[in-house]
Amino acid sequence: MGHYLYFVISAPIETKVGQEVKIMVEVLSTYDIVLTSYRLRVYGAGTNKQSSEVNTSLPQGTGIPKTITVTPTSEDTVYIEVRAEYDWQTGGQHQQGYGDLTVPITTARAETLDELKQQNQQFSSLYSNYTKLEGQYLEVSSSLQDAQSKLGNLTTSYDVLRGAYEQLQSENLVMQANYGDVLNQLQIQSARATNYEYIAISSIAAAIIILIAAVVTRRRGGRASGQPSSRKT
C-alpha cells in the first residue's frame, strides 16, 4: 500500500452475529518515514469503528500494531478501510506518499460454517439412523404382512373348523337324543323279555308238574289192575 508502506491484517474468516471479534492490524515500513496521518475504519454488518494516528515516526523495519474490537449485529461482510499519508527524505529532498486500502476481512453469520458442519454431521448421523430404522421398518412391515396373511388363512381355517364343530355338536345332540330313545326302548324290551321269560318258566314248570302227576296216576292205575284177588277161608 503505497511506496515503502505495507499492512498485515489478521481476523477470523467468519464470525457469529452478536459475538465480539478482534481485528489486528499492523502498518510496517521498509524505509524511515513519518506518518503524518494514519486512519483505520472497520464497518459493515452493523459495525462502525475508527482509529487514527498523526505525526508518528516509523523507522525502517518497525510497525505500529492496532487491535480493533467490534460486535456484528447482522449477517453481512465486515470491511476494513486503511488510509495513510507519510513523508520521507531521499538525497536531502522531502518526499510525500499516500495510500489507501479497503478489503473485506470477515463475514458475520447467524450460524458459522463450523456450526453448519457440526449440524451436517448430526443430520448425517440422524439420516444414517433413519435409513437403518427405515430398513427395520420395512422388514417388520413385510413380516407383519406375512403374519396378516397367515392370520387370514388361520381365520378362514378356524371358521371352517368352527362350522364343522358346530355341525358335529348338532349331530351329537341328535345322537344323544336317539341314544336316549334307544336306551328307553331297550329298557322296555328288557322288561318285556324278563316278563316273557318268567311266564315261559312258569308254563314249563306247570307242564312238568302235570306230566309228573299224569305219570304217577298211570302207575297207580297199573298196580291196581295187576294184583290177584285173595279169598279168605
| CA separation for the pair 168, 182 (Å, rounded) | 20
Query: Residue 26's domain spans which residues?
Result: 5-110
For the chain, helix (H) and strand (E) counts, in that order, are 1, 9
Count of Cβ atoms closer than 10 Å to residue 172 Cβ: 12
DSSP string spanning 17-67?
TTS-EEEEEEEEESS-EEEEEEEEEEEETTEEEEEEE-SEEE-TT-EEEEE
86 falls within a domain: yes
| CA separation for the pair 48, 17 (Å, rounded) | 15
Domain end point (choices 68, 91, 110): 110
In terms of domains, do 100 and 118 share one? Answer: no
| CA separation for the pair 160, 230 (Å, rounded) | 106
In terms of domains, do 85 and 175 share one? Answer: no
In terms of domains, do 40 and 80 share one? Answer: yes
Q: What is the pTM of this model?
A: 0.55
Total structural domains in the chain?
2
In terms of domains, do 81 and 120 share one? Answer: no
Q: So what's the pLDDT on residue 180?
A: 80
Q: What is the pLDDT along the chain (233 residues), one digit of tens a residue?
A: 668 888 899 999 999 999 999 999 999 999 999 999 999 999 999 999 999 988 999 999 999 999 999 999 999 999 999 999 999 998 889 999 998 899 999 999 998 888 888 888 888 888 888 888 888 888 888 888 888 888 888 888 888 888 888 888 888 888 888 888 877 887 887 777 676 666 666 667 677 777 777 766 776 666 555 555 444 43
Q: So what's the pLDDT on residue 1?
A: 63
H or E segment to which residue 108 belongs: strand 93-109
Domain end point (choices 60, 83, 110): 110
Encode 70-107 in three state secondary structure: ECCCCCEEEEEEEEEEEEEEECCEEEEEEEEEEEEEEE
Q: So what's the pLDDT on residue 232?
A: 45
In terms of domains, do 106 and 141 share one? Answer: no
In terms of domains, do 189 and 91 share one? Answer: no
In terms of domains, do 83 and 183 share one? Answer: no
Domain end point (choices 110, 127, 145): 110
Number of Cα atoms under 13 Å in the Cβ half of residue 159: 5
